[in-house]
């Protein structure tokens, strides 16, 4: 792909998966628009659009770990999508991350190397996750 590439990453700098995803985007020579969604949450309308474009359900975007998920009773499978969206709007920490928007689609990038499917540019070199796991070799190929 020639020319600038517009990528948006809904990011939490406290999350290792989110940091690794951001690193892989940058390793492709792309400086994305970084939205720290805990500081600047998406609107409900935008969140609904992102979920639809990612081809997932609100429940699939719901984060359990380190959130008020249990306290809010969100494990109840009878809750409607609207109720889950209401909870995510009230508590943005419930939105799982990183959510990446690229010209090739929208995806919840867990694990972080899932972002490679959304990058139109090749990796510029080796990349290892924070835990040392090599995911891209010196030639820029997925390991």
Catalytic residues: 15
Name the nearest CA neighbour of 33 among 24, 22, 44: 22
Contact 106, 99 (CB under 8 A): yes
| Helix, strand and coil percent figures for the chain, each rounded to 5 | 35, 15, 50
Cβ partners under 8 Å of residue 106, min gap 6: 50, 53, 54, 99, 100, 118
Following DSSP, what letter does each residue of 42-59 receive, concatenated?
PPHHHHHHHHHHHT--HH
């Amino acid at each position: 792909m020639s020319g600038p590439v517009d990528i948006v990453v809904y990011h939490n700098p406290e999350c290792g998966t989110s940091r690794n995803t951001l690193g892989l985007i940058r390793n492709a020579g792309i400086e994305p628009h970084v939205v720290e969604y805990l500081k600047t949450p998406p609107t409900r309308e935008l969140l609904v659009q992102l979920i639809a474009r990612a081809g997932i359900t609100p429940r699939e975007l719901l984060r359990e770990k380190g959130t008020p998920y249990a306290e809010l009773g969100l494990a109840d499978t009878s809750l409607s999508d609207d109720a889950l969206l209401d909870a995510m709007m009230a508590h943005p920490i419930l939105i799982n991350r990183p959510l990446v928007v690229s010209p090739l689609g929208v995806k919840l990038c867990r694990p972080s190397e899932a972002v490679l499917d959304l990058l139109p540019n090749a990796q510029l070199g080796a990349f290892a996750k924070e835990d040392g796991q090599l995911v891209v070799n010196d030639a820029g190929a997925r390991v």
